[in-house]
Amino acid sequence: MCGIFGYVTSNEEALGPILIAAAERLTYRGYDSVGAATINRGKIDLRKDVGKVDAVAAKYNIAEMRGQRGITQLRWATFGEPSQVNSQPHLDSMGDMVGAHNGNVVNNVELREQFMAEGMTVRSQNDGETCVHAVERYISRGYQFIDAIRLAYGDLQGDYTFVIGRADDDKLYAFKKGSGMVVGLGAGFTCVSSDLPSILPLTRSVIRPHDGEIVTLWADHVEVRSVKDGKLIDRQPELVTETMDAVQKGGYPHFMLKEIHEQAQVARELLHLLDGSSDVQPLIEKMKSARHLYFIGCGTSYHAAMAGAVYFAQLAGRAVIPILAPQFIAQYAPAVGYEDVGIFVSQSGETKDVLNALEAAEVRGMTCFGLANVVGSTLTKATSFCLPLCCGYEISVPATKTFTNQVVTFLYLAYRMAGKNTSDLARIPELMEQTIEMVAPQIEKIAQDINEWNDMYCLGYGATYPIALEGALKLKEITYAHCEGMLSTEFKHGPLSAVSKGFPIVFIAGPNDVPLIISGINEVKVRGARTIVVAEDDPRLRANGDDLVVIPNSDPHTYALLAVLPLQLLSYHMSVMRGFDPDFPRNLSKTLTVD
């Protein structure tokens, strides 16, 4: 989840300090490289590299940069590994334009090939450069700048925000499609950014452009136009009153709650990327021909792997072995070989247990692929290729959006292996938004009711079994209560003895599993348990359970993914009610790099 910032003033100024400060205010979004460009007296000064803001700024003396216009960018790698050449901003072929983006252009590979065939100078693998060349293509054909942007917008598929300027112009231009963009108006300057924190110390007068809009920024005013027809749009500025801390958290009290609400958008971006990825079909072919197929991960990533294994069996008729990374070394690594394929799953790409398993598999010759959120991490470099999760920076230690995008990826791959139409999955982000809206008030009330309990169970079956494990893990991580996730049919084989009056037990019920879940509900209810059921609306469940948390009707596979959202919210509210910080639970780290 990159961050961009552009600044326009009428006089030559020391823009370096302004750009550095703006970049530092966006570091919470996560990044691997940073760059800055200024335009001064018809010349572009570009300085960028891999590293932290302060280190790159010191190495290239960014503080000395001067000009009338400036752009800075923090890059979170998706296309092209973290490197100096892939860092942003980027130049056009002749060095007359400079631009930077936030987001993902999913047809990046195809467009780069087109641009090279047209004779353009393409220097990197990065899709930020693709945005620059997309505008350059139409400028070189004689179009005016606004019209070139409108045409480029139609060529660039995905979710992004982009800012661009040229040496012989006194303006910056920005356009938005799916990613965040905010415009600021100050005394003698205007600015644009992917997020409010880089703007607020400069001005609190802002305009929020919509998707499909182009903003032209002069030093003293801005214009908003429609991409569709180029016509002017009357968009009045508003006054922002929130504190910087509240803005960084998107107005939410904690990053975890913000990231729960971001899940629909990152899922939407991921689906766009997978649709445009040239890596997906080769991966599918390798998995189809594998003797044995393994999904390897730890913690939350293992739960996603378990869900993926269910999807592959149900949709594609392909057996998959999901396995915890350390156990893979003991149980399977000695027996694997060249005919086998493994997908190694890690949010950070640096999880030591997963890397140990990868090393053991590679020694035996197994074909190894990755699924990670951090491009340029050890896992992405060590595997044949690694699909990115496109979640941006996840600040809260408990994984939420990285888990759901792992599950979405496995569901997408299962669809592809089965030959099903993946456009059916386009509903998932909207269903996720509906789910959160539907369940939020009820979940907060249930959290109040059961918060006194320090022991509980979360039960599922089939595709919801890994969801039950993930929900239980979230409760353990941030409420410090003991919640055990189990297969619902296993509860009678021992744990039933723990049930007492009011004992909370959460059931996640799939639409095809209702009769089985009803048996489980009554098994514990007659012994005094408080039964909380997460499911699509069903009169049978209403009649048998104490609380029915209704999620939207979807399909036999998507419902499991939707069911994790109420469990995330339940753990969040219980943590806050207990006076804990859900973003930073005790004893835990976001990236586990020890055995």
Catalytic machinery residues? 2, 590
CA dist 586 → 210, 283, 589 (Å): 40, 38, 9
Cβ atoms of residues 477 and 570 within 8 Å: no
State both tokens at 61.
Answer: 């003396």
Core vs surface per residue 524-551: b (16+ CB within 10 A) or e: bbeeebbbbbbbbebeebeebbebbbbb
The residue whose two tokens read 């100050």 is: 186
Query: Six-digit token pair at 586?
Result: 């005790």
Helix (H) or strand (E) holding 550: strand 547-551
Instruction: With H, G, I as helix, E, B as strand and everything else as coil, classify residue 370.
Output: strand
SS3 547: strand
Query: Are the CB atoms for 258 and 208 separated by under 8 Å?
Result: no
User: E strands, 167-203, where?
Assistant: 172-177, 182-186, 189-193
Strands 321-324 and 341-346: unpaired
Which two structure tokens, joined as six digits, stand for 42?
Answer: 């018809």
51 neighbors 60 (Cβ within 8 angstroms): no
Minimal CA–CA distance to 526: which of 548, 505, 512?
A: 505
Whether 7 contacts 69, CB under 8 Å: yes
Helix (H, G, I), strand (E, B) or coil at 145: helix
Question: Which amino acid is located at 40 in the chain?
Answer: N
Residue 337 CA: distances (Å) to CA of 293, 355, 363: 11, 18, 9
* 325/357 Cα distance (integer angstroms): 6
Burial class of residue 351 (count of CB atoms within 10 Å of its CB; 0-12, 13-18, 19+): buried
Q: Which two tokens stand for residue 402?
A: 């990285």
Pairing outcome for strands 341-346 and 367-372: parallel
